Each structure stands twice: as C-alpha cells, then as structure tokens.
C-alpha cells in the first residue's frame, strides 16, 4: 500500500460562494415572510436557497436570509420613483435618497434544519446598466433580538440563465422599455465577481407556457465566522436603510 495517498491534503468540504456588492438599494425592513411579491405584476418565481457551512459541509440552521430585487419594470421598493431606464453612477448603501416606504419584493426567512429557505416572488426585471439579478444577505443570528442582529456573514447576487431571461423579457409586464438589459457576460459584477458560480438552476413550473412561472434553486457556501465587508454593522444606521 502506498502511504503517500493518505498524506494528500483533503479538498475543501464545500465551495465558498463569491461575495458581490450589496448595491445602493439595501434596506432592513425586518419583514419575515415567504411570499414577498405583494401582488407585483410579473411571472411567478419560486426560489429555494440552501445555505451550507463551507468549512464543514453542514447546513447552516437558523440563519436569517434576506433577499431583495427590482420589479418587472426595474424599480426597487423604497426607490420606486427612481427612473430604472437611466443608469445611476453610485453603488454604495445609502448613496441614493429613498423616495417612498414601499416594501414589495423584499423579505427574509430563517433557514430550517436542512439550511433551506424558500421564497415566492416574481422573476425580476432589469434596470439600466445591469443584467437580471437578485440580492442576498445572510445573517448569523443569536439570542432573542434576532431581527436586530448585524452580523452579516455573506452578501451576494444571484443570476439567471440567459434563455429563461429572454423568454421572460418578452412577456407583457417586462417589455416596452426604452433601454435593453445587459447580458450576463456584459455585466461588470457578473463578470468580475464570480457571477457564473452564482447562477441559479432554473426550471419551468408549467408544461404549457413559461408564463406559468419558474423554479430556481442553488446552494450558497458561507463562512459562518466571517464578517462581510459588503454590509457592515454601521450600514444599518444609515437613513436610507
């Protein structure tokens, strides 16, 4: 028997998912809910995210997973009056003044015993200068004041396969825009911050039409001891959040 095989370093238990910027439209509405759509127009999307400890391969239970994304026309709640057909030149949290107190397409869920959260929402549209995406933040919680927990361990963005997105953007609620979306590879954040590794696996919900909706899922590997530099504790004190 060759003893050298036992000395080979073990591979990583799980891949650490790439972090991406939080963007200017992060808020902390403390909305714990599975259905975040608030009857927003668009094609239904059922989203399942599995959160895994990249160091151990074990599911991360009890973590607070927030998601937020734009509506079919490219607008974010809280910034509904910002024109999504005009590209903004700032990307930091708190850099764009809020225009309203709407909360559509935002919400959080706690991971279950298998490290899974599920959301019911709509397939996002796009805004000028970006491809279609969903923002995600994972907070590691402790104690009773879990909604006040500021330990954000991971921040990222989720992307969609191009064929599914093209079919969605041809639907009535998404079409007729004065600008065109970027493809995934044209998007700076997708291209430079590991977007390919953050692309959802997507299936149609119905056999007859894509407008019946989609099911998207992926696994996110995080370091539960990490402190994200993308959403820092002081960001929760900013007026726009």
Per the model's pLDDT, the better-predicted residue between 88 and 10 turns out to be 88
> Does a structural domain hold residue 5?
no
Q: How far is the C-alpha of 177 from the C-alpha of 26, rounded, in Å?
A: 24
For 79-138, the pLDDT digits (tens) are 999 999 999 888 899 899 999 999 999 999 999 999 999 999 999 999 999 999 999 999
Q: Residue 194: give the domain boundaries.
A: 13-237
Q: What pLDDT is recorded for position 9? A: 41
Per the model's pLDDT, the better-predicted residue between 190 and 239 turns out to be 190
Per-residue CA distances from 175 to 39, 44, 237 (Å):
19, 16, 37
For 38-87, the pLDDT digits (tens) are 999 999 999 999 999 999 999 999 999 999 999 999 999 999 999 999 99
The structure's pTM equals: 0.92
Q: How would you label 6-43 residue by residue, b for 16+ Cβ within 10 Å and e otherwise? A: eeeeeeeebebbbbbbbbbbbbbbeeeeeebbbebebb
Domains held by the chain: number: 1
Count of Cβ atoms closer than 10 Å to residue 132 Cβ: 27
Domain at 203, CATH number: 2.60.130.10
Q: How far is the C-alpha of 62 from the C-alpha of 50, rounded, in Å?
A: 12
CB-neighbour burial class of residue 196 (10 A; exposed 0-12, middle 13-18, buried 19+): exposed
């Amino acid at each position: 028997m060759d003893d050298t095989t036992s000395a080979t370093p073990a591979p990583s238990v799980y891949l650490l998912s790439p972090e991406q910027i939080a963007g200017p439209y992060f808020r902390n509405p403390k909305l714990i809910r599975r259905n975040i759509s608030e009857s927003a127009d668009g094609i239904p999307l059922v989203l399942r995210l599995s959160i895994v400890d990249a160091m151990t391969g074990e599911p991360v239970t009890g973590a607070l997973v927030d998601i937020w994304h734009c509506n079919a026309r490219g607008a974010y709640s809280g910034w509904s009056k910002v024109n999504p057909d005009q590209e903004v030149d700032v990307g930091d949290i708190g850099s764009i003044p809020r225009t309203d107190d709407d909360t559509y397409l935002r919400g959080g869920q706690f991971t279950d015993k298998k490290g899974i959260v599920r959301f019911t929402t709509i397939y996002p549209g796009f805004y000028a200068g970006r491809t279609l995406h969903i923002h995600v933040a994972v907070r590691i919680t402790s104690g009773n004041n879990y909604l006040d927990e500021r330990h954000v361990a991971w921040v990222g963005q989720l992307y969609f396969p191009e064929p599914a997105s093209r079919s969605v953007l041809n639907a009535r609620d998404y079409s007729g825009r004065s600008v065109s979306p970027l493809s995934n590879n044209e998007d700076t954040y997708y291209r430079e911050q590991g977007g390919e590794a953050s692309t959802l696996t997507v299936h149609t919900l119905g056999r007859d039409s894509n407008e019946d909706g989609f099911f998207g899922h992926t696994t996110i590997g995080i370091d539960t001891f990490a402190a994200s530099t993308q959403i820092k504790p002081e960001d929760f004190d900013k007026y726009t959040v």
